[in-house]
Amino acid sequence: MAERLFATRRQTVQLSEPLTDEDMTVQASDDASPTKWHLGHTTWFFETFVLIPHLPGYEVHDPNFGYCFNSYYESVGKRQPRQRRGLMTRPTVKAVLEYRSSVDRALEMLLAGPPGKNKDILSIIELGINHEQQHQELLLTDILAVLASQPLRPAYTAAPPALAEVTGGSPDDGGRWLDFEGGIARMGHDDTSFAWDNESPSHEVLLHPFRLAERLVTNADWLQFIDDGGYRQPLLWLADGWAAVNREGWTAPEYWEHQDGAWHAMGLEGFKPVVPNRPVSHISYYEADAFARWRGHRLPTEFEWEFAARSHNVASSVAAVGLHPPACKLEKHAQLQQMFDHVWQWTSSSYSPYPRYRPPEGAIGEYNGKFMVSQQVLRGSSCFTPPGHSRVTYRNFFYPNQRWQMTGLRLADDLD
Amino acid sequence: MAERLFATRRQTVQLSEPLTDEDMTVQASDDASPTKWHLGHTTWFFETFVLIPHLPGYEVHDPNFGYCFNSYYESVGKRQPRQRRGLMTRPTVKAVLEYRSSVDRALEMLLAGPPGKNKDILSIIELGINHEQQHQELLLTDILAVLASQPLRPAYTAAPPALAEVTGGSPDDGGRWLDFEGGIARMGHDDTSFAWDNESPSHEVLLHPFRLAERLVTNADWLQFIDDGGYRQPLLWLADGWAAVNREGWTAPEYWEHQDGAWHAMGLEGFKPVVPNRPVSHISYYEADAFARWRGHRLPTEFEWEFAARSHNVASSVAAVGLHPPACKLEKHAQLQQMFDHVWQWTSSSYSPYPRYRPPEGAIGEYNGKFMVSQQVLRGSSCFTPPGHSRVTYRNFFYPNQRWQMTGLRLADDLD
Amino acid sequence: MAERLFATRRQTVQLSEPLTDEDMTVQASDDASPTKWHLGHTTWFFETFVLIPHLPGYEVHDPNFGYCFNSYYESVGKRQPRQRRGLMTRPTVKAVLEYRSSVDRALEMLLAGPPGKNKDILSIIELGINHEQQHQELLLTDILAVLASQPLRPAYTAAPPALAEVTGGSPDDGGRWLDFEGGIARMGHDDTSFAWDNESPSHEVLLHPFRLAERLVTNADWLQFIDDGGYRQPLLWLADGWAAVNREGWTAPEYWEHQDGAWHAMGLEGFKPVVPNRPVSHISYYEADAFARWRGHRLPTEFEWEFAARSHNVASSVAAVGLHPPACKLEKHAQLQQMFDHVWQWTSSSYSPYPRYRPPEGAIGEYNGKFMVSQQVLRGSSCFTPPGHSRVTYRNFFYPNQRWQMTGLRLADDLD
Amino acid sequence: MAERLFATRRQTVQLSEPLTDEDMTVQASDDASPTKWHLGHTTWFFETFVLIPHLPGYEVHDPNFGYCFNSYYESVGKRQPRQRRGLMTRPTVKAVLEYRSSVDRALEMLLAGPPGKNKDILSIIELGINHEQQHQELLLTDILAVLASQPLRPAYTAAPPALAEVTGGSPDDGGRWLDFEGGIARMGHDDTSFAWDNESPSHEVLLHPFRLAERLVTNADWLQFIDDGGYRQPLLWLADGWAAVNREGWTAPEYWEHQDGAWHAMGLEGFKPVVPNRPVSHISYYEADAFARWRGHRLPTEFEWEFAARSHNVASSVAAVGLHPPACKLEKHAQLQQMFDHVWQWTSSSYSPYPRYRPPEGAIGEYNGKFMVSQQVLRGSSCFTPPGHSRVTYRNFFYPNQRWQMTGLRLADDLD
């Protein structure tokens, strides 16, 4: 546990190393938080929920940091408004890194001593590790938002995490359907390993026969959608989606730009031509839904996705922590491809509590439950997700208009 | 059919009779349309979908009215923007009533002739009747919004549709729970009578054991919630709901106002003290959800609601069309009370398509499907709903922040 | 005095007669008030400032009307927010006309009796007459805004007030300059006749030699400006003006629309082709300023305008009250043309107090002084201005972005 | 000239030295630009208007920097939108400092060679020096905005530029009036020394007799205004000002906060108790105007201010360039105190062109003229203004709602 904890803590700092202090400070949009804030917030999380309640004699590093780095825990206290996180030039990056070191030393002390065996503490540290992994992924998506807003269009590193190219596309573009009988199936997390509260309780669900595309929808597929006027045909869109298209002026995925006769996109590798046989990414739920309707199919429910993933025994790549793979790998062990490690996949399921779900007691109870309205579930994981972080029961969630994440889609349909 | 059609058409005009031309013209909010617009739009619906395609030689009453009275049918053409409907002083009320008469005469001709037996025509007329009934209900909720925005606080009529008083309240206030075993149940519309496309296809659903409150939550219940600081405790609320409370300054349901030491509310009967033993109304989904959490319970899913309604064999009051009851009646035939005819009941189910749902071909396909995101399902009906309009499979839907409708709640919980 | 008072009061009602109750109720924009509100507000003005303080035993017609019809008098009490005036369906037009009659009867009583000779009363009645004339003009401009927002594009009457056609245009389009030596000149109102407080005190001003165009800028001039790309050249515009052009998408004056290959405009006479030899109207200060710069000239100051008007002895047409001229007449008595009765003329002078200006005591002091910032002075009068209402010292004022008034321009330049 | 140029260039960098790279990058509001942007923009100004046209063979340092650092010159090209300047993490501070060095070296070359005697070049360099001085002042006001938005409330340096304390206050608080006869006076810049285009042409103005307060309004004066309910009495305010008070929730000057029973304010020295006998600062025109009305006086016109300053022969402190005084000094040579070096003084004059004003040809012509609408003139200078930068004819200008500058007031009145 200690080893995983400190490997995770180091990894967060490593992700920030290619950046200047300035890159780490600004906020590209209300959705995207500064790198520095992620560095501070994940540290505040351990200080607030592990050290203060569990390390006798621990003295708070700086009493003002609670205001700076609390995200949304109403029960913990006031905080810097989310949309003003990018104004915090103080504490400096240097001071935040000192804060990290100081909290890490205290965590070492805690884990070295006999309380290190305390089960409650281990459980909250496990939560903290997973929380920090989520912020590693956000750190990457948020820094992409910063880099994409630069007139100079810089790259993050020479070989950043990026989407792998694939062979074969969606079912209407040479790919295959995989069929599933459905029936009553048990869904959700049901063993003693770590999972978020929103993956429980495990419960039975009735599934109707369905089919799922073997592969993700690609940029090549998406270019057809654009060329066919997909962004200009109101009947393809949900009403809210059509309003968003017109209000925001969408004509392509986020970060795409038409230049010199071809579509380019901004990624961590800089501003490059769109690669046709990569999965499409940075699309909203509205766009995913419109694309599926244009193709005459639909999006899967979150339970169809989970059922298929369980049936084919696919899993997220469990690589050694601390070394982020330079490019995501394909799963080799199943027909069902690209379930993990490429892009998060929009489902048609709204983000709702499972039957008998109750959020945990205390501030940790604010983690998931209070967001269960008006959002859609995404399943899988992306090439920005830390190795080993996701699983078949994992539920990610965003508002249907959000596009700054690594979000794509896989087609589904009814099985006659 | 002809009789029901013209009774419905007359009823819409009767609902407008207590109003001045001025009342019928303005628009109290983006959500609430003018009475005159409802009168015109329901007529345009019959003209566009019945007369033009089915009555040979029919000449459009006024070619500009399509622009004025199309609501949201992208496939039919351009239209007056929704939020500017209240600017249309022309056509006048008088001209719109002439439009109604003219279209009614053409419908009479159509139904008198041999095409009156045409099944397609009858089916679209049935749709038009139900469409007009929906607008009768909207007309009342929208005119309440107009009257509530008047400094002079006028009443609609001396004895308008209003909420009945009840004896007994929610389970924590003397009321009873009713228990249900759950299991696999068939849900949705499955016979040949009229229903909206969103109630189909009929399909099986797996229900876990649950309980449902015998009665609706009352104003007396709600006053306790207010007095206990319900609107000031962030931990009771969904994050979006808490943001709405603060942004909108909510401290009570819509139309409530504290005056001379007591809560009053604006209704069709004018500005009156809040009656404790009436169902609470004009609350958002966020408020319904927060109230349920405060009581330690939850909202039902739409399938729990439908299952209970089927089990207890409750039905919407099927009164003679054309005579709106001055006050809603209690159902007498079951323990389960107030399922219909009082207030629409928020459910925890997001508005999504049923398995294998496909919208109808053509413009009519824009009726329901394109709204299936970010909204919540409500079940039952309100005292503003035309008699006979609703049924156990009926799905109403609004955004979680909307409060101008007759919206309330019934508590549910898990059954151990 | 009594005769002028009641003639003015009747005239306001006559102006509303071509309109439906619905036309009189809605509000086309925050700037434009409903006809009904104008009818009520001018009546409230006499009730509040004449009858209540001066008619012994007078009983307020309806105590709620103060809230409905107070415009902006903070010292008198609360009021319906300006941008929500168009929601007031009650009181009805009928009730407001009864309010007018009732107040008129009380005014008759007051003027019949000995207090009719009271100088204070006469002075406030004179103010009320002039106030009502201002609202007659606003009533017309505001009803044009309502009619222009109708999809059906109705006309106000068959022969409404409208702009006269002229022969000869601006100095670069065949027109002449008139030269003025300048020097020290006395400006502002200086006799005992009625004038607004903002026209006083009379004071000396130092004028540098200047020239003024004999005539107003015409639609023909403006079409050249459009054709030359005037709306697309940032260097012609004030920075705030260029921001407005882009934010609002301006490509022509308000109410202009390009259709079937030609510019048309909405006026009280309906939707008609733009008439080249009429004065341009419905332009903002930004547009007037940009046009002048494009022509290599400038706008006059308000004192240059007044000096020229005094020198040439032009005056506003003093027609019989009660009969609005169907089309404005040209002045015949001077070289300087169209100073009055066509369009208000933007000047380069910001709206500021004259030296030693003090607003009157009491609520009437809120009439002019509190608006003296961020607005520009306009001089002259328009074809919507009641005959006899304006004069050489009259100062109208609007924000530089406002276009719903009858606003145009006359060019000026320095004299070498 | 070369000496003054490079002293000014060094001074800008020195002003940034107390700051972290992070402080220099963010943007506290749309009005306040980042320090880094000021460093880059002042350099781009010399590159664009001096080096490119005048140094043969000069190669642009980085062709992308024009987009990054152009402020508002439409004739030069596209630019980063003003409200997004705080997103530019690239170029880094380090890269901008290299840009400065590189441009400085090229300027040295230019001035060393024979073109160094070219009069056009010297004139544009003089402009560049004055332009850079303006940005030094903005840099300080803008960095105060950044520091004031920090939860940690840091100081800029231990001994930053700050307001001197004074003895004696406004005329109603123990201070004196100074009387002026007025008459015809020549105003504006009229010699060959440097001045902005907006200070010319010199011209005659007619002044009526007036009086001017010997001293500025102090914080002690302002606390009386607050205590007397100044922020709650609508009749003291211009209508736009009263709307701003309510919209923005103003209850005190910008950066003031009531804490532990006393008013504190954020300044470059950190968060400190308000010092009563310092001039009040960070007030809008609306507040200055309301205060003057509350005291029964008024603000001076810009010509009254200039006339008084000329009469008393006061001047801005002309210190050695390159050393910013740690605190501003009082003028000793006149009764008229604090005309310069304390706070900018709002005048009642709107910012308009002087008679016969024509902006210069070319891009430099965009410097002043295009802002001449809806703003008010301020006279004097503040303790943030570089020594020697201001003069009696200097015209500063801001919108009436702006408060982030060092803006205060001096009372005036009519002389009977």
Least reliable range by pLDDT among B214-223, C38-47, C168-177? C168-177
Q: Which helix (H) or strand (E) holds B272?
A: strand B270-273
C-alpha distances in angstroms, A259 versus A104, A153, A225, A264, D78? 47, 14, 19, 7, 17
- Residues on chain C touching B64 (C-beta within 8 angstroms): 151-152
Burial class (CB in 10 A: 0-12, 13-18, 19+), B196: middle
In this complex, is the C-beta atom of A68 within 8 Å of any C-beta atom belonging to chain D?
yes
Give residue-wise pLDDT tens across range A108-163: 999 987 755 688 899 999 999 999 999 999 999 999 999 999 999 999 998 898 89
Q: Do residue C373 and residue D289 have CB atoms under 8 angstroms apart?
A: yes
| A166 or C250, greater pLDDT | C250
Which C residues in the span 174-193 are in contact with B, Cβ-Cβ below 8 Å? none
Q: Do residue A373 and residue B285 have CB atoms under 8 angstroms apart?
A: yes
Torsion of CA D279, D280, D283, D288, to 10 degrees: -80
- Mean pLDDT on D267-295: 97
Q: Do residue D152 and residue A87 have CB atoms under 8 angstroms apart?
A: no
pLDDT of residue B318: 47
- Residues on chain C touching D302 (C-beta within 8 angstroms): none
**CA B309 to the chain's CA centroid:** 18
Q: Do residue B239 and residue A203 have CB atoms under 8 angstroms apart?
A: no
- Residues on chain A touching D23 (C-beta within 8 angstroms): 89-90
- In angstroms, the CA C391 to CA C393 distance is 6
Mean pLDDT by 10 residues, chain B (416 residues): 95 98 97 97 97 96 95 88 96 98 97 76 95 98 97 93 81 88 95 94 97 96 98 96 97 97 96 96 98 97 97 68 37 74 97 94 83 97 96 97 98 93
- Most distant CA atoms of chain A, gap in Å: 66
pLDDT of residue B313: 83
- Residues on chain C touching B44 (C-beta within 8 angstroms): none
CB neighbours of A248 closer than 8 A, spacing ≥ 6?
Answer: none
Q: Does C325 have pLDDT greater than 50?
A: no
DSSP code of residue C382: B
Three-state secondary-structure class, residue A103: helix
Q: Do residue A20 and residue D23 have CB atoms under 8 angstroms apart?
A: no
**Tally of CB atoms within 10 A around C206:** 17
- Residues on chain D touching C352 (C-beta within 8 angstroms): 348-350
- Residues on chain B touching C36 (C-beta within 8 angstroms): 22
pLDDT of residue C167: 72
Least reliable range by pLDDT among A119-123, A170-174, A273-277, B352-356? A170-174
pLDDT of residue C322: 33
pLDDT of residue D312: 87
- B80: nearest CA in chain C? C151
Extended beta strands in D191-261, E state = 203-207, 210-213, 256-259
Position A334 confidence tier, pLDDT thresholds 50, 70, 90: low
- D34: nearest CA in chain A? A87
- Pick D206's closest partner by Cβ from C206, C285, C370: C206
Q: Do residue A21 and residue D20 have CB atoms under 8 angstroms apart?
A: yes
Give bridge partners of residue A376 from the DSSP assignment: A350, A398
In this complex, is the C-beta atom of A77 within 8 Å of any C-beta atom belonging to chain D?
no
| Best of C68, C87, C147, C149 to mutate (most B CBs within 10 Å, chain B) | C87
- Pick C372's closest partner by Cβ from D234, D238, D371: D238
DSSP code of residue C112: H
pLDDT of residue C331: 46
Q: Do chains D and B touch (3 or more CB pairs under 8 A)?
A: no
- Mean pLDDT on C92-96: 98
Chains that touch A (3 or more CB pairs under 8 A): B, D
pLDDT of residue A317: 60
pLDDT of residue B167: 72
| Best of C373, C399, C416 to mutate (most D CBs within 10 Å, chain D) | C373
Three-state secondary-structure class, residue B283: coil
The ipTM (two decimal places) reads 0.94
Which C residues in the span 104-123 are in contact with D, Cβ-Cβ below 8 Å? none
Q: Please say whether the beta carbons of C412 and C170 come within 8 A.
A: no
Please provide the DSSP assignment of C257-309 as one string. EEETTEEEEEETTEEEE--TTSB--S--HHHHHHHHHHTT-BPPPHHHHHHHH
In this complex, is the C-beta atom of A134 within 8 Å of any C-beta atom belonging to chain B?
no
Sheet containing D256-259: give its strands across: D256-259, D262-267, D270-273
C-alpha distances in angstroms, C65 versus C90, C98, C138? 10, 13, 20
| Best of A16, A22, A143 to mutate (most D CBs within 10 Å, chain D) | A22
- Pick A371's closest partner by Cβ from B239, B348, B366: B239
Helix pair angle (B119-148, B93-112), 10° resolution? 160
Per-residue buried b or exposed e for C341-362, using 16+ beta carbons within 10 Å of the residue's own CB: bbbbbbbbbbbbbbbebebeee
Position D162 confidence tier, pLDDT thresholds 50, 70, 90: confident
Q: Do residue D72 and residue C239 have CB atoms under 8 angstroms apart?
A: yes
Q: In angstroms, what separates the C-alpha of B232 from chain C's closest C-alpha? A: 28
- Mean pLDDT on A309-331: 56
Position C239 confidence tier, pLDDT thresholds 50, 70, 90: very high
- C349: nearest CA in chain D? D352
In this complex, is the C-beta atom of C203 within 8 Å of any C-beta atom belonging to chain D?
yes
Percent of chain C with pLDDT over 90: 83
Give residue-wise pLDDT tens across range D172-203: 877 899 999 999 999 999 999 999 999 999 99
User: Which tokens sit at B191?
Assistant: 């016979």
Q: Do residue B240 and residue A372 have CB atoms under 8 angstroms apart?
A: no
Give residue-wise pLDDT tens across range A395-411: 999 999 999 999 999 99
Q: Does D331 have pLDDT greater than 50?
A: no
- In angstroms, the CA A207 to CA D183 distance is 93
Q: In angstroms, what separates the C-alpha of C244 from chain B's closest C-alpha? A: 22
pLDDT of residue A415: 92
- Residues on chain B touching A364 (C-beta within 8 angstroms): none
Sheet containing D376-379: give its strands across: D396-398, D376-379, D344-350, D407-408
| Best of D74, D350, D367, D401 to mutate (most C CBs within 10 Å, chain C) | D350
- Residues on chain D touching A25 (C-beta within 8 angstroms): 22, 25-26, 89
User: Tokens 């007799």 correspond to what residue?
Assistant: D209
Q: Does C327 have pLDDT greater than 50?
A: no
- Pick B152's closest partner by Cβ from C25, C90, C150: C90
User: Tokens 């700086």 correspond to what residue?
Assistant: A62
Q: Do residue D23 and residue A89 have CB atoms under 8 angstroms apart?
A: yes
- Pick D89's closest partner by Cβ from A26, A68, A91: A26
Question: Taken in order B121, B125, B126, B128, is the CA torsion positive or negative?
Answer: positive
pLDDT of residue D128: 96
In this complex, is the C-beta atom of B240 within 8 Å of any C-beta atom belonging to chain A?
yes
Three-state secondary-structure class, residue C396: strand
Q: Does A307 have pLDDT greater than 90?
A: yes
Which pTM value belongs to this model?
Answer: 0.94
Percent of chain D with pLDDT over 70: 95
Phi (first) and psi of residue D236, to 5 degrees = -80, -15
- Mean pLDDT on C78-101: 96
If phi > 0 it is left, if psi is from -120 to 50 it is alpha, else beta; for residue D75 that is alpha
- Residues on chain C touching D374 (C-beta within 8 angstroms): 240, 374, 400
- D357: nearest CA in chain C? C414
